[in-house]
Amino acid sequence: MKALVFNAFGGPEVLEYLDIADPVIGPDEILVRMKAIGLNFADIYRRKGNYHLAGKPPYILGYEGAGIVEKTGANVQEISVGDRIAFADVPYANTELVAVPFEKAIPVPAETTFTEAASVLLQGLTAQYLTKDSYLVKKDDRVLVHAAAGGVGQLLIQIVKLLGGKVIGLTSSKEKAAAAKEAGAEQVFLYKDNWVQKVLQETNGNGVDIVYDSVGATLQDSFAATRIGGTVVFFGMAGGDPIPVDPRMLMDTSKTLTGGDLWNVLTSRQERVTRATELFSWMEAGKVRISEPTIFALRDGQEAHRFLESRKSTGKILLVP
């Protein structure tokens, strides 16, 4: 089968499109022929060597995708050849065939396309737990969303509004601001402006109830834009590591800092299926909309990585074998 691999850490140029051996599935696994594969910043970090990778090269990126079951292991009973499934946390997805553990296989309803499933699972399940587990968004909550035009950002905006909250977005350009407003943000400010002051002005000097910060380096400013007794959810470091937070500041302002990681939520197949089913149902009902993804052929993985790193994208980037 064909696969996108790399033998050394570095820039997009280390990626190669090569023939490798087909995976051999175990008794509790299924073999999936990939139709669409999600590209995420975690793939960039792994390619650069920022994240630890087990084993020896050649390494294969990719953890998210959707496709058709081609073969099932001896112990698999609830999934059959020809079924449509997706996954959000299975390694080695940048290939034509992927061995997927049964517990991580999520059924894809007939109304959902492979590109929609590959576009929404990782980012959609992230937005879902951030608004229900890290902090339960309530009616009329004022919510500040960093990177509001990105895949998670646009979904956060929609789910916050679905739960009755009101959204202020932060983006890096007017074009991205337009995408965030299209997703439902009531107001959008640019990072290059004095956005903390603008957020405070927008909230009559009080600050927002909750900030979703995926940038990291902005954490102190996020606290400055949060009301007394408000919450900051830190769930990413796309802009660099945050400086340490003084716990005395938390005490003096009664503010809360909490972290978020999807893998602490997807602890069983039941959790995966239940949460994904809700996400798919929101999509089917038109309550959550997925913006049109940017699609690259898997063989053009270098180009796709460069595009993601350029930060010019809005929404999801997919690789198609």
Are 72 and 81 within 8 A, CB to CB?
yes
Burial environment of residue 298 by CB neighbours within 10 A (0 to 12, 13 to 18, 19 or more): buried
Beta bridge partners of 69: 32
Residue with tokens 């089968």: 1
Pairing between strand 59-60 and 2-6? Answer: antiparallel
Q: What is the mean pLDDT of residues 32-58?
A: 89
pTM: 0.89
CATH superfamily membership of 139-259: NAD(P)-binding Rossmann-like Domain (3.40.50.720)
DSSP H or E stretch at residue 274: helix 269-284
- pLDDT tens digits, 126-162: 999 999 999 999 999 999 999 999 889 999 999 999 9
- pLDDT tens digits, 209-261: 999 999 999 999 999 999 999 999 999 887 888 899 999 999 999 999 999 88
Contacts of 222 (CB under 8 A, 6+ apart): 144, 146, 211, 213, 232
Give percent of the chain with pLDDT exceeding 90.
87
- pLDDT tens digits, 49-101: 877 787 888 999 999 999 999 999 999 999 999 999 999 999 999 999 999 99
Q: What is the DSSP letter of 271?
A: H
Q: What is the pLDDT of residue 85?
A: 97
- pLDDT tens digits, 153-197: 999 999 999 999 999 999 999 999 999 999 999 999 999 999 999
Contacts of 125 (CB under 8 A, 6+ apart): 88, 262, 265, 266, 275, 276, 279
Measured between alpha carbons, how far is 269 from 102 in angstroms, rounded to an integer? 8
Measured between alpha carbons, how far is 301 from 39 in angstroms, rounded to an integer? 9
Query: Domain ranges in the chain?
Result: 2-120+266-320, 139-259
Measured between alpha carbons, how far is 6 from 18 in angstroms, rounded to an integer? 10
Residue with tokens 């280390």: 14
Is the domain spanning 2-120+266-320 CATH 3.40.50.620? The answer is: no
- pLDDT tens digits, 104-114: 999 999 999 99
- pLDDT tens digits, 268-321: 999 999 999 999 999 999 999 988 899 999 999 999 999 998 877 767 899 999
